[in-house]
A and B are shown apart, each in its own frame.
Chain A
């Protein structure tokens, strides 16, 4: 279907230019300190890229109507709104990037720069599988499921219905723990999630979210089940419901296999989902460094930018691309500033108290400039030399200065500001950023680096629905509230966390799920729809414990929803401690809205 850099619609000269660009940009990325592995670039036409997009970046997926839905929706959007996919990239060995052939040469170059940074991220971030055989896996899964459709002993509709039912819970896996099996297959060095978290400077609240209070091993209670990976739980305990015999029966082999396939693919995609903010931001900043700062772009490229960006500008709400890029830029500036400030505070006579009076910031910027070396990539790209960042050092708060000075024991090292600037490490920020891209995911990234300064400078705010005013209203502009709302968006892919808590509920082999309530209630009618589908996958009655919140009073009450194959039942429950996530409340409504 695709031809690597050969295509009858592109002339030899342009092709040569692209090949050269791919090689040069790869080298440039390495010069800038990235470590992208080799990427296979493919030139594909309009139809092909839309199919690839429908298949989440792969040439083949198992037969299913929802790819068809995505594809026809995309086609309509393109036809009527002029959208266009410039590129797709997947994490594979090697990574594959698909560029749309009709891109201009300049677009192609920007895309390649972007892709090289993604490839670097895939290969170096802890949460991605090492050396995956992704395309091969997708193809094997497609063939397997096709064979069930082709099998005359199996009802085609049953296969499709079974897939649909599993898809309703496809994201109910445990990316942080479950993926260890997969990761450790290729990795001898075991590192538990807790060790990783301990090495990061994240808050306890987030740690709790990530490790989700796994009950202590010493716990007295017997048979405490806490399983986030519902798909695994089904594979170990589930049954199919036979409507003829009205009994739970063992899964057919194809049923089990479909659950396994969907679960495996969910784990594969989970790394991308949990690093979207970081990964998109990472690709955007390096693209812009390579294209603009390193002057790889041609003059009229700027016009192309505007075409593409106009849509993003108007997109409301949470935009991972935007916040990711802004955060990385902020980290870059902040780390560079820390380095400069830590040197300045070692100058005789300069303390955190008199910092702003003693330092001539225009002169300081000049010194930083005079001292840098154009031949060294991280020096010529030094963020504090960029025009828009010239005031960044000056804007440091007293608090931060004081904090910084606490770690300085060797005061009075330098006689003059000039001497201190000679000692600054211009690579400091980039080193730190490379570390961050290795160890963090979006949750820890947001938790660690979203600061008051950032939220204020970038003017982020949290909003909530005000039932009195019957509209969405700004609920807070505080760091805490903004962080909560972002974490809510990105934790567990923006979906509520629901765990399997019992496989023998009512002592009758029934399934009990518990919603890990965090201040925001479930969409109850959707939850009932899911339970109905889940019944088919469990074979016996299914139950869900959750908490409902009164929209007027804010009062919380426990609710047990049950489905037994014919009827839905709701029951109020008293004790809700076990489903209430400790000290996590993502509701940011001001008290007087109630």
Chain B
């Protein structure tokens, strides 16, 4: 390993008093989108295309003019590397969710029926929606004109008067700002601050009348030809598309991240939840994933963090369900979304929490499927780990609730089958 260490050492030295000629090419960026890891990158210059002219290709059902999220790679000093960018290196295999769903169906003989909650209605509404580009006939001329007029008017602010106003006893920045707004004068607060900082005689006038003149309202009318139109004010109206999508599903993954969830357990959870996400993604037109981590309290995380975090705290599973009920589900009304709520943990919970809080919440929250995955590597049962038992006792025979236990990799497929099999009810 000495060979690569030599190269790493040299890399670290560069810019720190060595090779100052490269200093301008060093970027201290961040790796990753969600979790930011500081990283130093030295980018030797090369002939390359202008990024804003290069464009690219994407995939999806798209119409000309639709905005594209190009991932924003590179530009924000975000360590330009993407997985598999280097030659001959394969980090990931390929399979798309549909294929995966199909295979899992074949493999497990799942009797999974995806169903739409609502039929698609695509209504082309009034021209209410606006975009920054479009055909000329849809240009919002009113908006364009108004903005131009505003600017036109703003050019004729009687700044002299404002400056005098600041010399009136008791008229500080705040007071003038208030006055300006009352009189609908188009000047920014920072402008007033600027004037104020330049003024020395703050009590030149005792009152506003001492200034000796009125604020000059609008300047003498000039021709409208002077009005400047700017392209940044161009807005194009486009029909508002009211769409009720079909076949929606929201999948909420909950993970216990408390101190007892060690690496082995974490890995087992990932092995069960990831394929299920994939599977459901292949089954629905439109799937949202929400990730909730909890110890004694719960918070929403993104996928990258979801399997990585660990906290030291205790465990209160109900906290996650409270968060879901209050903050997440209102965005996914039951009449148009299938809801899948999957929790995973090692069976530990704070005393009485399961009975008094968790079970009532699980009953109250409407879902296509509730599942609890209990991971117990090496079958070593923890002392208080009885969430699975309690839930099983409570929900025995109720199709909507599924409890699965995973002790090793071997149990993963059975667990998935147990959780997803025969999804039929509404």
Q: Which A residues have a C-beta under 8 Å from some C-beta of B?
A: 47, 50-51, 53-57, 60, 63-73, 76-77, 80-90, 110-111, 114, 118, 157, 160-161, 164, 167-169, 171-172, 269, 272-273, 276, 280, 283-284, 287, 292, 299-300, 302-303, 305-313, 315-318, 321-322, 325, 387-388, 458-477, 482, 485-486, 488-489, 494-496, 498, 515, 520-524, 526-527, 529-530, 533, 549, 551, 586-590, 592-593
Contact = CB atoms under 8 A, between A and B. Distances in A.
Contacts of B326: none
A85 B85 CA distance: 12
B245 to A, nearest CB: 17
B50 interface: yes
A466 to B, nearest CB: 6
Contacts of B271: 303, 307
A113 B104 CA distance: 22
Pick the 4 closest A-B CB pairs, nearest first. A68-B7, A469-B132, A68-B11, A529-B45
B10 A473 contact: no
A68 B308 contact: no
A311 B70 contact: no
A388 B64 CA distance: 29
Nearest to A497: B47
A495 B31 contact: no
Contacts of B58: 316-317, 460-461, 463, 474
Contacts of B92: 308-309, 311-312, 321
A57 B87 contact: yes
Nearest to B56: A317
A316 B83 CA distance: 11
Contacts of A302: 100, 103-104, 107, 275
Contacts of B19: 157, 160-161
A489 B22 CA distance: 28
Contacts of B31: 73, 76-77, 80
Given A85-B90, A310-B274, A465 B52 contact: yes
Nearest to B14: A65
B76 interface: no
Nearest to B61: A459
B223 interface: no
B171 interface: no
A311 B11 contact: no
B116 interface: no
A88 B89 CA distance: 5
Contacts of B4: 50-51, 54-55, 67-68, 71
B46 interface: yes
Contacts of A485: 55-57
B69 interface: yes
Contact of B59 (A80, A309, A461): A461
B49 interface: yes
Nearest to A527: B47
B87 A269 contact: yes
Given A84-B91, A284-B93, A592-B133, 12 more contacts: A66-B11, A80-B37, A168-B44, A272-B88, A280-B90, A292-B103, A306-B95, A309-B93, A317-B56, A468-B133, A474-B62, A530-B45
B79 interface: yes
28 contacts: A50-B4, A55-B4, A63-B7, A65-B7, A71-B4, A72-B8, A73-B81, A76-B31, A77-B31, A80-B308, A118-B88, A269-B87, A306-B95, A315-B82, A321-B92, A321-B94, A467-B52, A468-B132, A471-B68, A473-B133, A495-B46, A520-B53, A522-B48, A523-B48, A523-B49, A549-B53, A551-B53, A588-B55
A194 B307 CA distance: 54
Contacts of B40: 69
B47 A496 contact: yes
B250 to A, nearest CB: 18
Given A71-B4, A467-B52, A66 B70 contact: no
